[in-house]
Structure 1
Amino acid sequence: MDRHHYETFDKFGNETFIIHLDNGRGFGKHSHDELSILVPLSQCCRVRKSTHLRLQLLAKEEYQLSRLMEESLLRDRLHPVLIQPHLEAMDRRLRLVLQVLAVCVEKEGYSNVVEVDDHHRAREARGGRDTATHRNPGHR
């Protein structure tokens, strides 16, 4: 059952109310990667440059997505929110997304897949210089 499923009990007639039960599956099963969710990406083969760069950054050892998420969740009152296998699944799934994008780039060319967005368009207009200060990849 997913979280959109609900049941009613005939015994109470029309005097019922909704109870939302969260099964905690927001991150899915850590041992199963649902590859069908990547189909739209593989079909359209388009991504913003800022998104592509962020995904590549989060795949690097020093900015590893699972480590940043774990550090962020340490401050949560419900810690641990995610168990280690779920954190590892995040890194594995990130690699799958990057693999799909790599196939797109190989098939269609970088400029046809990675779209320069406003931030990078302005940066290129300044000759590649970034006037903003460097920020932690976890900050917006």
Structure 2
Amino acid sequence: MNKEIVPVASKRLMDTALTINNRTCIYGRCYYCSKRDPLCADQNDNLIGAVIFNLRSSFKILRSPWMRTYKKDKKAQWEQDNSYCRTVRGSISKKRLVEMIDIAIFDFFIQNGDRHHYEIMGDKLLLLDNGKGLGNPHKHHVDILAPLYQCCMLRKKTWKKLLTLSGQKLSSYLKQMPDINNFLAKDHLEAIDNRLSLIYAAVEYCKTENKMIFI
């Protein structure tokens, strides 16, 4: 933090820096950023962060149909209308819809609940600005899966892949990654398996309602 980040940080970023228990902390500038919730270096002055790439290409940015209002006293239409997917189907293609459902599943695993926009490069939908890194391992925001359980559509190959990860295989694969224990807690590994079970439950719900469509 103090050798590699602080010396090259902008004044705008350093204006959000503070010291807590002799550790340098930064809360940054964003919609959710707050002095009450800073990011602090550990006892060795190290900070775990994200890698950011600059893409030298143009892409189109579109609002997500499942965007939140970000207002405590106002809910989005999808949060109140379980048949909301009918509206979505009238505005985007089936191909784009199943792509967004795939992304919702990814976001549910990492508990990224603010996919307010999505980006398209050519005809490909990109996963940018994923936000959360597995979130609170003891809390699962099921509404992130709304595109799945409201539309009850899923790619066949996505479903087959998810089925191969049952029986704690998903966390087992992650444990094989080098130095996994340095950045992923045991609780997070268990949470990933639990979230996979909730995805299965969402598909079973659709089957029970005779709405499930595999494409």
Whether the TM-score (by the shorter chain) exceeds 0.5 is yes
Q: Secondary structure at the match of 2:207?
A: helix
Hey, what does 1:57 align to over in structure 2? 164
Question: How many Å apart are 1:40 and its aligned residue?
Answer: 1.7
Calculate percent identity across the aligned residue pairs: 29
Aligned structure 1 segments of 4 or more residues deviating by more than 6 angstroms: none
Q: 2:175 aligns with which of 64, 70, 88?
A: 70
Residue segments in structure 2 that go unaligned for 5+ positions in a row: 1-9, 15-25, 28-37, 40-47, 49-131
More helix by share: 1
Taking structure 2 as the reference length, the TM-score comes to 0.39
Spell out, residue by residue over 1:114-134, the C-alpha distance to the aligned partner (whole angstroms, 9 max, x if none). 11xxxxxxxxxxxxxxxxxxx
Taking the aligned partners of 1:49 and 1:60, their CA distance within structure 2 comes to: 20
- The secondary structure found in structure 1 opposite 2:13 is coil
Q: For residue 80 of structure 1, report the CA deviation from its aligned partner.
A: 2.3
> Hey, what does 1:84 align to over in structure 2?
186
Instruction: Quote how far apart the aligned CAs of 1:18 are.
Output: 3.0
Q: Going by fraction, where is strand more abundant, 1 or 2?
A: 2
Aligned to 1:38: 145
| TM-score normalised by the chain length of structure 1 | 0.58
Structure-2 separation of matches of 1:87 and 1:79 = 10
Match of 1:16 in 2: 11
Compute the RMSD of aligned alpha carbons: 2.5
Distance in 2, matches of 1:113 and 1:106, equals 12
Deviations 1:92-126 (A, max 9, x none): 000000110111122225xx5211xxxxxxxxxxx
* Aligned equivalents of 2:133, 2:142: Cα separation in 1: 16
Question: Partners in 1 of 2:13 and 2:151 — Cα distance?
Answer: 39
Greater gyration radius: 1
Query: What SS does structure 1 have at the residue aligned with 2:12?
Result: coil
User: Residue type matched to 1:29 in 2?
Assistant: N
Q: Which residue of 104, 108, 125 maps to 2:210?
A: 108
Unaligned runs of 5+ in 1: 1-14, 116-140
Deviations 1:59-109 (A, max 9, x none): 135xx101111112xx14x74221111000000000000110111122225
